[in-house]
Amino acid sequence: MKTGFAFSLLAAACACAAFGTEVVTSPDGRLAVAVDDEGGSPAYTVTLGGETVLARSPLGLVTDFGDFSRGLTLAGATRRAVEETYDLATIKRRSVAVKASRLTVDFTNATGRLSVTFHVSDHDLAFRYTLPRQKGRGAVRVLREATGFSFPEGTTGFLTPQAVPMTGWKRTKPSYEEDYVLDRPLPVARANGNGWTFPALFRTGERWVLLGETGTDGSYCGCRLDEFDGRTTRIAFPLPEENNGSGSVEPAFALPGSTPWRTITVGGLKEVVETTVAWDVVAPKYPARPCDYGRNTWSWIVWQDESINWDDQVAYIDFAAAMGWEGVLVDAFWDRDIGYPKMEKLIAYAASKGVGVWLWYSSSGWWNDIEQSPVNVMSDPIRRKQDMRWMQRLGVKGVKVDFWGGDKQETMRLYEQVLSDADDHGLMVIFHGCTIPRGWERMYPNYVGSEAVLASENRYFSPRFCAVAGVNAALHPFIRNSLGAMEYGGTFLNERMSRDNRSRHARGTTVAFELATAVLFQNPVQNFALTPNNLTDAPAAAIDFMKAVPTTWDETRFLAGYPGRSVALARRKGGRWYLAAVAAEKTVLTLDLSFCGRGVRTVTLDANDGWVDVVGR
């Protein structure tokens, strides 16, 4: 069957024009990619079971020493099979078996040679470019990419716009915290005029496509998707205004060298939720050390800046100990309002209670207007290492580094430098006010997770986000959290968004919704939004659930749902299944729980309502 399909596609291509075509199919033969050089412009076409997933879509790079998007001839191809298993504690499943077909196609023109490597598993496609050393060139600057994604007629998009740089609170954007547009027919009308961010989800009839980017390190920038031209969107580079206008938007790397991978997950919603493609095609950059993940208390989310003082932090350390949780996150201004000397005593106090400490830092100070401190430490290699040595001596578990400047290559280098130095000092790293991770869970073993989402703080700040909590919760497992750990900081048990639990706006969700998000939102360290008073004013069953809930998972299964409306997942830890569902609207979910011996179950939910169950022991 599979060779028959490949040959028929090839025959069709060869019959109509004299251009080169190579076809690669997935191990099960259903997902196929045809690559051609028609008209001198390289392109790829993706089909699943013979149906078009992506129409002929452009490939190519324009560089400082020549144009690799035109006048190209398909000059050769090599193939190999990939079979690999890897273990990764920090993603949706602990052990992953990768089985894929790889095809590398070489294109040549007067400028030289460009290779494109395709990795095709049964439900995922990833591809990247490689340039050799050529024409005396040992380095390349990429001026733009031709790379695009052309969707068939009838496709709709579930998208979040790229922010306008240097806008928002203290000019901290972009930080991947924009509202989504849902199920909009292509071309989706421009929002900010800056296109759309990864990951991006698309639906064509019953078939779903999730676009992502992975393998990005200090040798490239973080990319976005440009505004639609018809039903085509292309890879675009960061905006010049990012980083307060400093730094190039054009990435440069040494030759031979490769770009990041672009990923295309294809299938039903099950395949979209369960994909591991972001980690399948990347490799660890340094050996993993043992990391103690787990649950943290976090005063800032409800008690805010005023809580970063000795007494309130002691209260949150005691609260972590009472919950049996592993840590406490001390947020901004600890250097000013507690001070380095007294922090040493606080960290020792936490250790005496069996509670580890995480410390907040600003990423810098020079690309936005924030006052939150410590500032100008993480961007300065000398001060960064001084503070990391201090933290290592005190046994601090990790840092949360906030308010990043954008997606330019120099910022990707800073992400990598912070991760690398932190690893040298036995520290884990959480990013906030930041870009999406791009395979970083596997590439940097001490990386934990990134915000890059309209996270819990927005529910604290505004009732508008409480009203749509169900919509957002029913999006993340399909989009943002499917391709990367998501540092959301959720699960409120206060009825109102205030320290006294009586003033300000209501939470607007059921207790079951809040518990469900502790399972649905995946991050190997969870900074939960519970407050010390919840020990006595929240339902005892909810506290018991939160005392036991894990933060790392052996397996994840999609059960039911539709992006933006509802979602139900099962996550396994050892012999125990955590079942969780949330809904944005009145919903009846029929869940096949036969895999954990519970048969078929119907769950009825209201808007902003949820459901949890624990099966096994």
**With CB under 5 A as the contact rule, which of the stretches 124-132, 210-218, 271-279, 427-435 interacts with Ca ion?**
427-435
406 or 433: whose CB is closer to Ca ion?
Answer: 433
Contact window for Ca ion (CB under 5 A) among 125-133, 247-255, 426-434, 598-606: 426-434
Taking the CA atoms of residue 553, residue 557, residue 559 and residue 561 in that order, the dihedral angle to the nearest 10 degrees is 80
**Long-range pairs, 82-90, Cβ under 8 A, ≥24:** 82/119, 84/280, 86/279, 86/442, 88/279, 88/441, 88/442, 89/291, 89/293, 89/524, 89/552, 90/293, 90/441, 90/447, 90/448, 90/449, 90/485, 90/524, 90/552
Question: Which helix (H) or strand (E) covers residue 613, if one does?
Answer: strand 609-616
CB of 323 to Ca ion, least distance (A): 24
Q: Least distance from C-beta 406 to Ca ion, angstroms? A: 14
Q: Minimum distance between the CB of residue 71 and Ca ion, rounded to whole angstroms?
A: 45
* Minimum CB distance to Ca ion smaller for 58 or for 433: 433
Placement of tokens 């000059």 in the chain: 75
Q: At closest approach, how far in Å is the CB of 61 from Ca ion?
A: 33
Scored b (16 or more CB within 10 A) or e, 319-340 reads: bbbebebbbbbbbbbbbebbee
Tell me the closest approach of the beta carbon of residue 455 to Ca ion, in angstroms.
6
Nearer to Ca ion, 433 or 484 (CB): 433
Give the nearer residue to Ca ion in terms of CB position, either 177 or 441: 177
Residues 197-226 binding Ca ion (CB under 5 A) are: none
Q: Where are the alpha helices (DSSP H) in 462-510?
A: 463-467, 469-473
Long-range contacts of 75-83 (CB under 8 A, 24+ apart): 75/20, 75/106, 75/107, 75/108, 75/113, 76/105, 76/106, 77/22, 77/103, 77/104, 77/105, 77/106, 78/103, 78/104, 79/24, 79/103, 79/104, 81/27, 82/119
CB nearer to Ca ion: pick between 20 and 433: 433
CA–CA distance, 147 with 69 (Å, rounded to integer): 9
Site for Ca ion in 97-156 (CB under 5 A): none
In the complex, least distance from residue 11 CB atom to Ca ion, rounded to whole angstroms: 53
Single out the segment in contact with Ca ion by CB under 5 A; choices: 239-247, 344-352, 362-370, 430-438.
430-438
Q: How many residues does the chain have?
A: 617
- C-alpha–C-alpha distance, residues 332 and 360, integer Å: 5
For Ca ion, the closer of residues 42 and 433 by Cβ is: 433
Q: How many residues sit close enough to Ca ion to count as binding (CB under 5 A)?
A: 1
CB of 440 to Ca ion, least distance (A): 18
Amino acid at 297: T
Question: Which region, judged by CB under 5 A, interacts with Ca ion, from 73-81, 90-98, 433-441, 524-532?
Answer: 433-441
Between 93 and 432, whose beta carbon lies closer to Ca ion? Answer: 432
Phi and psi, residue 366, nearest 5°: -100, 5
Q: Name the segment binding Ca ion (CB under 5 A); options: 411-419, 431-439, 478-486, 491-499.
A: 431-439
* Residue with Cβ nearer Ca ion (433 or 610): 433
On whether the CB atoms of residues 412 and 218 are closer than 8 A, the answer is yes
Structure tokens at 610: 């949820």
- Of the ranges 25-33, 198-206, 429-437, 609-617, which one interacts with Ca ion (CB under 5 A)? 429-437
Stretch of 203-211, 353-361, 425-433, 487-495 lying at the interface with Ca ion (CB under 5 A): 425-433
CB of 489 to Ca ion, least distance (A): 9
Residue (156 or 368) nearer to Ca ion, CB: 368
Q: Token pair 């099979």 is at which residue?
A: 81
In this complex, which beta carbon is closest to Ca ion, that of residue 433 or of residue 563? 433
How far apart are CB 403 and Ca ion at their closest, in Å?
8
| Residues in Cβ contact with 122 at an 8 Å cutoff, skipping those fewer than 6 apart | 26, 27, 28, 30, 31, 99
Residue nearest to Ca ion (CB): 433
To the nearest whole angstrom, how small is the minimum distance from the Cβ of residue 242 to Ca ion? 16
Contacting residues toward Ca ion, per CB under 5 A: 433
